[in-house]
């Protein structure tokens, strides 16, 4: 399940920010490792909400430091 | 002492070509880029034709860039990269580098798309890039970021004179000592049912839908309005000293500009062409030239019944009898009218004409309107004399903006 979400998130991050799919790993930080700026993060969140039917509030987004954090949140709230 | 301004780079993407040379070759052969718009929404539109960019800029820029930028910004970036590369990507202190890229209408299609999203899916699905896509300074900012400009990033807004006004402002940044190099020009991409309907409501557009390539026909008796085009033109201007010091190839010389306003009507040209004539005279004066130095004019010539005559009157008022010695062309006959991009691509055309000593023909000029008292190139390119020569580029915009630019051969 988590792997499926990780793979889906990698596709989204690639689409939004051009980061190679293989670089989007659980331990990677969106900001420090993948260079995702705040506007691109908004796009990632929107696409993830649409794909998995979850709601990721702004108050939660700031806690999603790594890709793994996002995968865990989506898996728990799907 | 005024600092001389030279041109070291040119870039374009237009309805007849994706770069400078393909566009220029198309113009010299009289090739039109106007075609039927292949979209279901044209069915109810009075005007169903336009000059769509020959090469889709979204396919030229990076995929992620295309996603974040309005189409007008994509076009500006394509043209800017070509111009910057042609200039040899000058190494310059960013504090001495400026960017001035104009648009007449900004990211209007992005705004309309976002509004559709707002109605269909609600406010939470508006792109975080929407604001920077639609702001009229967006193209200037995007190009400024591309080259790392820190002397100033500006966007002049004067409808269809915007692109020419940008070039004049860029040159002013150099002559007043604010910058050594300025990348400048104009862009537009607003072919959308809302703009087509709006211009059609003004009865400004040609409705020669059954013969698209013949629709834009400046100076011809059969002209019935302009045809909208899209694309961008960019120039790299430098102080002559800076260009010489780095051994840059000089493509042409920026002479000067004249900027006036009609004070007549929001959308109709002054039939006496007084504002336009003053702009032409001021531009020649600013260039330190006399009327007899002008050998060529790339006219605004949009193919509207009134506008073409008003410009003809203005040119004759400004140049007097010397008008008979000047070869005029209306390149919108092939590109359509790029609105805020027009003055920029036509500045590029003017510089290429001076470089090659060749004036592209005005397409579709079959039956010349007797009220046009100009020597208009038609049928085939016309040769310009050797030696030091100068040419004018006229641009006028809704709102009564009159901008004339003078360029000199290198």
pLDDT tens figures, B103-155: 999 999 999 999 999 999 999 999 999 999 999 999 999 999 999 999 999 99
For residues B114 and B96, what is the distance between their CA atoms, to the nearest angstrom?
37
Task: For residue B125, list chain A residues with Cβ-Cβ distance below 8 A.
Answer: 46
Q: Mean per-residue pLDDT for B191-217?
A: 98
- B64·A16 Cβ contact <8 A: yes
- B129·A18 Cβ contact <8 A: no
Decide if B5-245 and B256-408 have a common fold.
yes
Confidence check: pLDDT of B182 > 50: yes
Q: Are A6 and A75 contacting, i.e. CB atoms less than 8 angstroms apart? A: no
Handedness of CA B68, B70, B71, B72 (dihedral sign): negative
Phi, psi of B237 (to 5 degrees): -105, 145
- B124·A46 Cβ contact <8 A: yes
Q: ipTM of the assembly?
A: 0.90
| Percent of chain B residues past pLDDT 70, beyond the cut | 100
Confidence check: pLDDT of A1 > 80: no
Q: Mean per-residue pLDDT for B325-354?
A: 98
Every domain of chain B and the residues it spans: 5-245, 256-408
CA B163 vs. chain centroid, Å, equals 5
Q: What is the pLDDT of residues A25-72, one digit of tens each?
A: 999 999 999 999 999 999 999 999 999 999 999 999 999 999 999 999
Q: Mean per-residue pLDDT for B50-57?
A: 98
Q: Which domain holds residue A65?
A: 2-77
How many independent structural domains does chain A possess? 1
Q: Determine whether domain B256-408 maps to CATH 3.40.47.10.
A: yes
Q: Are B371 and B312 contacting, i.e. CB atoms less than 8 angstroms apart? A: yes
SS3 content of chain A, % helix, strand, coil (to 5): 65, 5, 35
CA A49 vs. chain centroid, Å, equals 10
Q: Determine whether domain B5-245 maps to CATH 4.10.910.10.
A: no
Q: Mean per-residue pLDDT for B263-275?
A: 94
What pLDDT, on the 0 to 100 scale, is given for residue B2?
Answer: 66
What pLDDT, on the 0 to 100 scale, is given for residue B242?
Answer: 98
Task: For residue B128, list chain A residues with Cβ-Cβ distance below 8 A.
Answer: 39-40, 42-43
With cut-offs at 50, 70 and 90, classify the pLDDT of residue A78. Answer: confident
CA B122 to chain A, closest CA, distance in angstroms equals 12
Whether B121 and chain A come into contact, CB under 8 Å, resolves to no
Alpha-carbon separation of residue B387 from B329, B407, B409 (angstroms): 21, 14, 8
Domain containing A17 — which CATH number? 1.10.1200.10
With cut-offs at 50, 70 and 90, classify the pLDDT of residue B1. Answer: very low
Between positions 65 and 84 of B, the ones with CB within 8 A of A are 67
pTM value > 0.80? yes
Q: What is the DSSP letter of A20?
A: -
Q: Crossing angle of helices B193-201/B108-121, nearest 10°?
A: 120
β partners of residue B239: B5
Q: What is the pLDDT of residues B163-172, one digit of tens each?
A: 999 999 999 9
Confidence check: pLDDT of B240 > 50: yes
Confidence check: pLDDT of B97 > 70: yes
For residues B196 and B112, what is the distance between their CA atoms, to the nearest angstrom?
13
β partners of residue B101: B185
Confidence check: pLDDT of B3 > 50: yes
Pairing of strands B294-298, B390-397: parallel
């Amino acid at each position: 399940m988590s792997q499926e979400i990780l793979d889906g998130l990698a596709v989204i991050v690639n689409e939004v920010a051009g980061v190679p799919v293989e670089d989007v790993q659980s331990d990677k930080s969106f900001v420090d490792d993948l260079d995702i700026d705040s506007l691109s993060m908004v796009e990632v969140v929107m696409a993830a909400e649409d794909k998995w039917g979850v709601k990721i509030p702004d108050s939660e987004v700031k806690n999603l430091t790594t890709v793994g954090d996002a995968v865990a949140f989506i898996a728990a709230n799907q | 002492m005024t600092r001389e301004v030279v041109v070291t780079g040119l870039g374009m993407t237009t309805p007849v070509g994706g770069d400078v040379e393909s566009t220029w070759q198309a113009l010299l052969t009289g090739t039109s880029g106007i075609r039927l718009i292949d979209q279901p929404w044209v069915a109810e539109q009075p005007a169903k034709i336009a000059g769509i960019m020959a090469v889709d800029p979204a396919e030229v820029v990076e995929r992620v860039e295309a996603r974040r930028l309005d189409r007008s910004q994509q076009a500006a970036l394509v043209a800017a990269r070509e111009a910057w590369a042609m200039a040899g990507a000058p190494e310059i202190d960013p504090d001495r580098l400026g960017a001035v890229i104009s648009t007449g209408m900004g990211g209007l299609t992005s705004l309309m798309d976002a509004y559709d999203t707002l109605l269909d899916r609600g406010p939470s699905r508006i792109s975080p890039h929407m604001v920077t896509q639609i702001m009229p300074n967006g193209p200037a900012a995007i190009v400024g970021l591309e080259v790392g400009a820190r002397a100033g990033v500006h966007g002049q807004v004067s409808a269809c004179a915007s692109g020419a006004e940008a070039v004049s402002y860029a040159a002013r940044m150099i002559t007043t000592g604010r910058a050594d190099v300025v990348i400048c020009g104009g862009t537009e991409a607003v072919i959308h049912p809302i703009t087509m309907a709006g211009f059609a409501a003004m009865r400004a557009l040609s409705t020669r839908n059954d013969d698209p390539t013949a629709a834009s026909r400046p100076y011809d008796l059969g002209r019935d309005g302009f045809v909208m085009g899209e694309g961008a033109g960019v120039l790299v201007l430098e102080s002559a000293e800076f260009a010489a010091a780095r051994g840059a190839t000089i493509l042409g010389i920026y002479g000067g500009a004249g900027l006036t306003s009609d004070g007549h009507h929001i959308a109709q040209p002054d039939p006496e062409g007084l504002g336009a004539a003053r702009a032409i005279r001021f531009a020649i004066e600013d260039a330190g030239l006399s009327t007899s130095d002008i050998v060529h004019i790339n006219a605004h010539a949009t193919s509207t019944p009134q506008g073409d005559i008003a410009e003809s009157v203005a040119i004759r008022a400004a140049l007097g009898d010397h008008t008979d010695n000047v070869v005029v062309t209306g390149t919108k006959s092939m590109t359509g009218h790029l609105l805020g991009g027009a003055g920029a691509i036509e500045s590029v055309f003017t510089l290429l004409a001076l470089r090659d000593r060749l004036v592209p023909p005005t397409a579709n000029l079959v039956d010349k309107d007797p009220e046009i008292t100009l020597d208009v190139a038609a049928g085939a390119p016309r040769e310009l004399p050797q030696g030091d020569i100068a040419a004018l580029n006229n641009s006028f915009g809704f709102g009564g903006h009159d901008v004339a630019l003078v360029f000199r051969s290198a």
